[in-house]
Homo-oligomer: A and B are copies of this chain.
Amino acid sequence: MVTMEDVARLAGVSKMTVSNVVNNREGVSDLVRRRVLEAIRQSGYRLNVSARSLRSGRTGVIGLAVPEVDLPYFSHLATLVIDAARRRGHHVAIERTGAAEAGEADALAHSRVLQFDALILSAVVLDGLDERLTGAGCPVVMLGERDFGGRFDHVAMPNEEGMKAATVHLADQGCRRIGIVSGVPREGVNVMTRRYRGYLDGLAERGLSADPPLLFPLDGMTMEAGRDAAHRMVDSGREVDGVVAVTDTVALGVLRGLADRGLRVPDDIRLIGFDDVPESRFLVPSLSSVAPDHRWMAEKAVELAVQRVRAPLRPAEEHVAPFELVIRESTR
User: Interface 1/0s, chain A 44-75, versus B by CB < 8 A?
Assistant: 10111111011000010100000011101001
Asked whether A33 is an interface residue with its Cβ less than 8 Å from the other chain, the reply is no
Interchain CB contact under 8 A, A252 and B70: no
> Given that A135-B44, A227-B282 are known contacts, is A91 also in contact with B75, CB under 8 Å in the complex?
no
Query: Which chain B residue has the least Cβ–Cβ distance from A68?
Result: B79
> Given that A72-B70, A79-B68, A223-B282 are known contacts, is A94 also in contact with B96, CB under 8 Å in the complex?
no
Interchain CB contact under 8 A, A79 and B96: yes
Query: Which chain B residue has the least Cβ–Cβ distance from A259?
Result: B284
Contacts of A76 in B (CB 8 A): 70
Contacts of A93 in B (CB 8 A): 61, 91-94
> Given that A94-B94, A284-B255, A284-B256 are known contacts, is A112 also in contact with B46, CB under 8 Å in the complex?
yes
Give the copy number: 2
Contacts of A44 in B (CB 8 A): 135
Query: Which chain B residue has the least Cβ–Cβ distance from A71?
Result: B75
Output the least CB separation between A96 and chain B (Å): 6
CA distance A110 to B93 in the complex (A): 13
Output the least CB separation between A303 and chain B (Å): 19
Contacts of A46 in B (CB 8 A): 112-113, 137
Asked whether A309 is an interface residue with its Cβ less than 8 Å from the other chain, the reply is no
Contacts of A61 in B (CB 8 A): 93
Query: Which chain B residue has the least Cβ–Cβ distance from A112?
Result: B46
CA distance A94 to B85 in the complex (A): 13
- Cross-chain contact of A72 among B47, B72, B78 (Cβ < 8 A): B72
Q: Which of A234-285 touch B at CB < 8 Å?
A: 252-253, 255-256, 259, 278-279, 282-284
Contacts of A96 in B (CB 8 A): 79, 82-83
Interchain CB contact under 8 A, B82 and A94: yes
> Given that A49-B115, A76-B70 are known contacts, is A278 also in contact with B223, CB under 8 Å in the complex?
yes
Query: Which chain B residue has the least Cβ–Cβ distance from A83?
Result: B96
CA distance A72 to B53 in the complex (A): 34
User: Footprint of B on A, CB under 8 Å?
Assistant: 44, 46-51, 53-54, 59, 61, 68-70, 72, 75-76, 78-79, 82-83, 91-94, 96, 110, 112-115, 135, 137, 223-224, 227, 252-253, 255-256, 259, 278-279, 282-284, 286
What are 9 inter-chain pairs, A to B, with CB distance below 8 A? A49-B114, A50-B51, A61-B93, A69-B75, A70-B76, A82-B94, A92-B93, A223-B278, A256-B286
